[in-house]
Copies of this chain bind each other. A is one copy, B any other.
Amino acid sequence: MTVMQTKPADTARTAPADICSAPPRRHPRPDGQDRYTISEVVAFTGLTAHTLRWYERIGLMPHVDRSHTGQRRYSNRDLDWLDFVTKLRLTGMPVADMVRYAELVREGESTYAERQELLESTRRDVLTRIAELHDTLSVLDHKISFYAAGK
């Protein structure tokens, strides 16, 4: 991976993004930098470049800034968004629903209520899935102890 030469970050960027950003950063990012190439983002997130471009095409990413030659330059805010999307994906949320949330974010403050609803419904799903997994865990433990005793 080549770490590209970067211009100083545009402080005036007004790309719509989720106002409420996640405080804990899971991927180390070089300090004082705000313009990452796609291959850097691949390294940070574990997603493929193809998937990153595809997310953009389907409207799951806010518009990503470009270099003067047309190459993508991701901001820290974009990385935060990708972290969030990755978490939503882990809950089993369909991509279409995540796109819907992204649209609400783009539409601005007037969609706060709807966003809150969507997240609350997702929260309920997550709690259900956790309960199911605990249930499964107890079945697994039961069977494992059977095999452990049996031989």
Question: Which chain A residues have a beta carbon within 8 Å of chain B's beta carbons?
Answer: 18-20, 22-23, 84, 87-88, 90-91, 109, 112-113, 115-116, 119-120, 122-123, 126-127, 129-130, 132-137, 139-144, 146-148, 150-151
Tell me what chain A mostly uses at the interface: helix, strand, loop, or mixed: helix
Q: How many copies does the complex hold?
A: 2
Q: Report whether A22 and B142 are in contact in the complex, using a CB–CB cutoff of 8 Å.
A: yes
* A150 partner residues in chain B, CB cutoff 8 A: 112
Q: Report whether B148 and A116 are in contact in the complex, using a CB–CB cutoff of 8 Å.
A: yes
* A142 partner residues in chain B, CB cutoff 8 A: 20, 22-23
Q: Report whether B90 and A147 are in contact in the complex, using a CB–CB cutoff of 8 Å.
A: no
A–B Cβ pairs within 8 angstroms, 30 of them: A19-B146, A20-B142, A20-B143, A20-B146, A22-B142, A84-B139, A87-B136, A87-B139, A90-B133, A90-B136, A109-B151, A115-B147, A116-B144, A116-B148, A116-B151, A119-B140, A119-B144, A119-B147, A120-B144, A123-B137, A123-B140, A123-B141, A123-B144, A126-B133, A126-B136, A126-B137, A126-B140, A129-B133, A130-B133, A130-B137
Q: Report whether B116 and A147 are in contact in the complex, using a CB–CB cutoff of 8 Å.
A: yes
Q: Report whether A139 and B22 are in contact in the complex, using a CB–CB cutoff of 8 Å.
A: yes
CB distance from A87 to the nearest CB of B (A): 4
* A133 partner residues in chain B, CB cutoff 8 A: 90-91, 126, 129-130, 133
Q: Report whether B143 and A119 are in contact in the complex, using a CB–CB cutoff of 8 Å.
A: yes
